[in-house]
Structure 1
Amino acid sequence: MNHTLRVPGATLYYEVRGDGPLLVLAGAPMGTRFLAPLADLLAADHTVITTDPRGVGGSIPDDPSADSTPQLRAADLAHLIAHLGLGPAAVFGTSGGAVTGLALAQAHPGAVHTLVAHEPPVTELLPDAVEQRAAVEDIVATYAAGDVPGAWMKFLVNANIPVDPSAAPPPPDEQQTADERFWFLHEMRGTTLFRPDLDALRSSGVRIVVAVGEASAGQICDRTSAALAEGLGADRAVFPGGHIAFVDDPDTFAPRLRETLK
């Protein structure tokens, strides 16, 4: 079922599937359209919530020029969990959504009992954080100058994600173009500048599992996941596939997530 919820500064779009313990799937910039296949599988034994992060898809901010930060997105999730009245929730956050999940556990620990943080790009924890900030600024400036392919190439090279030059993605539709623009200009910077408060997370009472894809070795989110796990004194859980395995192969990804949540 599809719903909207009014929160401070935005109207959130979210979807509800299944029945059972509450599980929130959070992405950023990815929203409901990418998480839906995984949600369908997990709805067999969970009440699964997917949502578009503010500024993406159906979640409309009052000020479209305002930046989206992990703190804002975490507050949105806290409002949504409270509205549903089924919390505290288990949360699976991936990429920027994993950063949202960390901000949620840090500032709203009563809303979440377990967080699976899948490949969060918390580059502020890296020894080359200054260089990473400069790389993000260059990527954003390249996009703002109108060089969309160049911005994507710089992003993938910096993330150390292999690029197949013969694989041309299908042309984006109008919504995808708008979501892409919001991510580059209003979301990427805030997400990568977020530095988790490791002391607050360790004392939050939230069970935090740092997850990384087996195919992500050497990529930037492999490095950030390792730094986060070390900072929290936690082991990393290895998941199948790479950074977007939950999209590429949800049938393989779902059992691993279900096992981790137990």
Structure 2
Amino acid sequence: MTAPSTGTLRVHGATLHYDVRGQGPLLLLIPGGAGGAASFDGIADDLAAEYTVATYDPRGMSRSTLDDPEAEQRVAEHADDALRLLERLTPGEPARVFGVSSGAIVALHLLSAHPERVERVVAHEPPVVEVLPDAVEHRAFLAHVQETFRAEGLMPAMAVFAAGLRKDEAEAAAEPRREAESEIELPPQAAARREQTMANLPYFVGRIVPRFMSYTPDVQRLQTEALADRLVLAGGQDSRGELPYRPAAFLAERFGTDLVHFPGGHTGLTTHPAEFGALLRKVLCTA
């Protein structure tokens, strides 16, 4: 793996840590979940053969620190962080953007609020559940996650959260335990990355999940011809029917566009990096 150049950027209420590698048009990768820039380690080097690839830790995650650790998190502020990174790295020029999960929510807001700065957005499974016809059920689910987090702690809340996202609730409920048991099998770099992800989980569950999954994108603006032509909605080949997949499928149908299926499920970026990166390169080049 090629060592990236690193930098920091002061934004409102936080200091962002970002990495840059490669050369060519700028491609900003926005991580989701409890991951940071390192979640793109499996694809960033290959993409850097064609792009200047910028990755970063979102505010409050990993190396990007908050001035006030108790500050409420807002999608619009996270999108403004992404905008300021674009202005730092490619001032005045539109960029390509890829976002996954909660990072895809940020990418959607960035496109709708600042379309002049975005040439193309690929949004992989943004869990904008408020667009779904059964949104009220998902509000109750998210409230249950928060209640469990407050009353019982992180891992019980994660089990509830995983069960609500998956089709197979029994399988999902076992996932946090199985991942913890498998940690000793990981190579050093992957183990360090997982340790950092685990350290980010309380912030993710307590601050990101409730605010991001209650966010409603500007659907009318996104479906205008000027913006819809720049937006690629994507889902995992193996996550059909799961909660994070459904908003992307719903919006693609509403917009009359194809839903691009990437290899793997919601975490296909990690489980199928070579195939995932190859398809992303193809989608980014498609006019």
Both structures adopt the same fold (TM-score exceeding 0.5):
yes
- Inter-partner Cα distance in structure 2 for 1:197 and 1:168: 36
- For 1:119, the equivalent position in structure 2 comes to 125
Distance 1:204 1:32, change over 3 A: farther
With over 3 angstroms needed to count, the CA separation of the structure-2 counterparts of 1:22 and 1:161, relative to structure 1, is farther
Question: Paired residues, what number?
Answer: 262
* 1:148 lines up with 2:154 in the alignment: yes
SS of residue paired to 2:31:
strand
Equivalent residue for 1:135, pick from 119, 141, 147? 141
2:223 paired residue number: 202
Instruction: Please state how far the C-alpha of 1:34 moved relative to its aligned partner.
Output: 1.0
The runs of 5 or more residues in structure 1 that have no matched partner are none
- Helix, strand or coil: the match of 2:86? helix
What is aligned with 1:62? 67
Render the CA deviation track for 1:1-33: whole Å, top value 9, x for unaligned.
111000111111110010011101101232111
**What's the offset of the Cα at 1:144?**
2.2
From 18, 23, 26, the equivalent of 1:19 is: 23
Secondary structure, counterpart of 2:244 in structure 1? helix
Q: 2:6 aligns with which of 2, 6, 24?
A: 2
Q: 1:158 offset after TM fit, Å?
A: 0.7
The aligned residue for residue 178 of structure 2 is 167
Q: Deviations over 1:95-139 (max 9, x none)?
A: 000000001011111121100000110100111111101111111
Partner of 1:90: 96
Contact 2:14 2:59 in 1 (8 A): yes
1:19 corresponds to which letter in structure 2? Q
CA distance in structure 1 between the aligned counterparts of 2:240 and 2:198, rounded to whole angstroms: 30
Alignment-derived partner of residue 157 in structure 1: 163
Q: Is the 8 A contact 1:36 1:50 kept in 2?
A: no
Distance in 1 between the 2:46 and 2:272 partners? 12
Aligned counterparts of 1:89 and 1:190: Cα–Cα separation in 2: 26
Q: 209-218 or 82-91: which moved more?
A: 82-91
1:146 is displaced (CA, Å) by 3.5
TM-score, with structure 2 as normaliser: 0.86
Query: What TM-score results when the alignment is normalised by the length of structure 1?
Result: 0.94
1:105 paired residue number: 111
Cα distance per residue 1:60-82 (max 9 Å; x no partner): 12111112222111100001101
Secondary structure at 1:36 match in 2 = helix
Identity between Structure 1 and Structure 2 (%) = 39
Inter-CA distance 175–237: structure 2 relative to 1 (3 Å threshold): closer
1:36 Cα offset (Å): 2.0
Q: 1:161 Cα shift? A: 5.2
